[in-house]
């Protein structure tokens, strides 16, 4: 059995997942990347699987365990975005987003737990978002899926405490990745929302283009992987830590108003 720590990362083909895989590989961790497409990089042992398919994940994790003899950390990173008004989001798009962003975390965790229980001080790191605490207009389903991950992580931490499996929900702020160009947009908004949605998305994308590098997020996640005791939440980015602090101390109505003033554009 290999004594190096084995880390499994979903959504490891790009962005935060890929940069985290590269960094952990440099630090002598054994990295398995789960992605729908083949990952062509020697830093990652690539396994193709879809997080919306529980049986594929179950088979993939069994394969990893059979090869390595242990799995020590799961990083649930796979995710996608949809922007647009809630009213004009199709039922199919809303369901698919929740299937990937939230149910994917559930599928991955459920499939992995039998193996993590056999490790010493195993860890589960779920990639959420500051948008899970500060719900953003015209990204309603993205914010909802990330808020669900936070609640899932809180429950999971309590349930797994007897098995010495730690859980952390990581909340990045705006980060420069391919996520921006890959975000799906509602095809039809109509006159009621179109101008407001366009302005809001422009602000979001500008923030993302000028955001933190994915390598910065990878360094934060690496510190969590090697940390003896995980915090329940870890926010990435100084200004986002301030936002989360204000969200805790200010009245909810005021926080909602402030977010609306940035992204809501009450007038088209």
What is the distance between the alpha carbons of residues 265 and 268, in angstroms, rounded to a whole number? 7
Region of residue 121 (left: phi > 0; alpha: psi -120 to 50; beta: else): left
Other CB atoms within a 10 A radius of the CB of residue 87 amount to 11
Catalytic (active-site) positions: 13, 128, 142, 146
Pick the closest to residue 9 from 42, 33, 41, 40 (CA basis). 33
Task: List phi, psi (to 5°) of 7.
Answer: -120, 135
Task: List phi, psi (to 5°) of 122.
Answer: -75, 160
Cα distances (angstroms) measured from residue 64 to each of 7, 45, 153? 10, 10, 24
What does DSSP say about strands 175-176 and 212-213: parallel, antiparallel, or unpaired? parallel
Q: Which residues of 125-152 are buried (b: 16+ CB within 10 A; e: fewer)?
A: bbbbbbbbbbbbbbbbbbbbbbbbbbeb
Q: In the numeric block, which tokens belong to residue 254?
A: 């005021």
Cα distances (angstroms) measured from residue 39 to each of 10, 43, 88, 226? 12, 9, 35, 24
């Amino acid at each position: 059995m290999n004594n190096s720590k084995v880390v499994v990362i979903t959504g490891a083909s790009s962005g935060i997942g890929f940069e985290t895989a590269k960094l952990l590989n440099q630090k002598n961790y054994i990295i398995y990347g789960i992605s729908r497409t083949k990952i062509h990089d020697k830093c990652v042992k690539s396994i193709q699987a879809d997080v919306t398919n529980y049986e594929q994940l179950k088979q993939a994790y069994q394969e990893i365990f059979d090869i390595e003899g242990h799995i020590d950390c799961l990083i649930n990173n796979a995710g996608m975005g949809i922007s647009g008004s809630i009213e004009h989001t199709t039922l199919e798009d809303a369901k698919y987003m929740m299937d990937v962003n939230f149910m994917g975390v559930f599928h991955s965790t459920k499939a992995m737990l039998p193996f993590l229980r056999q490790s010493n001080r195993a860890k589960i790191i779920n990639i959420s978002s500051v948008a899970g605490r500060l719900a953003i207009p015209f990204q309603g389903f993205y914010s909802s899926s990330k808020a669900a991950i936070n609640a899932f992580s809180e429950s999971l931490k309590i349930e797994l405490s007897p098995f010495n499996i730690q859980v952390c929900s990581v909340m990045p702020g705006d980060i420069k990745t391919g996520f921006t160009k890959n975000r799906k947009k509602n095809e039809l908004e109509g006159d009621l929302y179109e101008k407001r949605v366009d302005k809001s998305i422009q602000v979001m994308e500008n923030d993302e283009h000028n955001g933190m590098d994915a390598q910065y997020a990878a360094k934060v996640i690496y510190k969590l992987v090697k940390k003896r005791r995980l915090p329940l939440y870890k926010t990435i980015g100084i200004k986002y830590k301030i936002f989360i602090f204000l969200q805790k101390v200010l009245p909810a109505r005021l926080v909602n108003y402030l977010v609306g003033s940035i992204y809501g554009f009450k007038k088209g």
